[in-house]
Structure 1
Amino acid sequence: MGRRHQAVMAWRLKKTIVMVGMMGAGKTAVGRALASALRVPFLDSDHEIEEAAAMSIAEIFERDGEAFFRARETEVIQRLLDGAPCVLSTGGGAYLAERNRAAITARGTAVWLDADLDLLWSRVKHRDTRPLLKTPDPFGTLKSLYEARVPIYAKADIAVKSQPGLTVQNMADRVIAALAERDDLLEKT
């Protein structure tokens, strides 16, 4: 094993790390790599909702609307925060709700994957699984969402800047370095 991986194995996670940010920021991919490196479970709130509903997020949005989805999302996040420390990936809109931010702050730590608009667009423009982008002008919609959401994401406990060309593992390493700067998140074992 490499030196970096050996150093990571010497940590114990004290609180759930909640990945927040825009669609396409890498919350799921980076979250999985982070969980693997820290040897803790990885959970995804959207996946948990889909499993419980036996429907995709897009189908839930279409059938029941965004308000119904957001209520289920809050219930799932609350439940997952009550479990053992893990890495939790949330949907792009989850952190916007004050009740979700309060729960995350009280029982976990929010890590914002801060990707700029061009990087996000390059990652989401060819996907049809983003219900909020099913509009006549998906880039314009993404831009509006970005401009409205960034000030809220900036309230996260930790921000990690994403850049084009970084691998998922590079981003996970950046998150670990940011976590290690605080004494309430990781404990050397």
Structure 2
Amino acid sequence: MVYMKIILLGYMGSGKSSIGKSLSKVTNIPFLDLDNVIEEKESISISEIFNAKGEIYFRKREQEILNNVLRDNQSLILALGGGTPCYGTIMQNLNDMDDVTLIYLKASIQELTLRLWEERAHRPMIAHLKDKIQLEDFIRKHLFERNFYYNQASKKIDTDGFNISEIVQKIVVSLF
């Protein structure tokens, strides 16, 4: 049997979880959000892990849990955390796997700023930002650092101006 592991990556607010859930319904492939799996295994939230144990602990645990999830012989759709592909050898390891398709959900800085401004209270990394200009600068800096990793994905899907079902359709067409 052929297993398909579809991995969604991109910046926070790019729609990885929402699109992953919808793609799962269309394809009948189970969906997992890596952040949720980590929180379940650790029994605390991601922000609490960062605060209590630090980023180095979190990144090591994240890689360990990711490896365990991918080791299972089953098809799945997996949403990574925004920073997951940027640490250690994660992107190289993912690209070396035969049954993995990496999809970068690419959104512009302007689109991410619009989406994240409304959600910032629920996102610890950006909750402290006071206005849209600070948020846009924050996103610009992170995207500059992370695009090297994100662009290693075999498929890139532009999300600006498209709703979830249109993006899912673009992904399905690119896969099958």
TM bracket (short chain): 0.7 to 0.9
Other-structure match for 2:118: 126
Aligned partner letter, 1:144: K
For the pair 1:177 / 2:169, whether they are aligned, the reply is no
**Is residue 13–residue 38 contact of structure 1 (8 Å, CA) maintained in 2?**
no
Deviation at 1:15, TM superposition (A): 2.0
Where does the alignment leave 5 or more consecutive residues of structure 2 unmatched?
A: none
For the pair 1:153 / 2:133, whether they are aligned, the reply is no
5 Å-filtered alignment, 1:1-189, equals: 14-83=3-72, 84-107=74-97, 108-127=100-119, 128-136=121-129, 137-164=134-161, 166-180=162-176
Normalised by the length of structure 1, the TM-score is: 0.82
Normalised by the length of structure 2, the TM-score is: 0.88
**Is residue 34–residue 81 contact of structure 2 (8 Å, CA) maintained in 1?**
yes
**Is residue 111–residue 158 contact of structure 1 (8 Å, CA) maintained in 2?**
yes
Matched residues in 1 for 2:136 and 2:46: separation? 20
Matched residues in 1 for 2:112 and 2:69: separation? 27
Matched residues in 2 for 1:13 and 1:167: separation? 30
Q: CA RMSD in A?
A: 1.7
Where does the alignment leave 5 or more consecutive residues of structure 1 unmatched?
A: 1-11, 181-189
How high is the sequence identity, in percent, across the aligned residues?
Answer: 26
Q: What count of residue pairs does the alignment treat as equivalent?
A: 168
User: Aligned to 2:156, what secondary structure does the other structure show?
Assistant: strand
Matched residues in 2 for 1:103 and 1:172: separation? 25
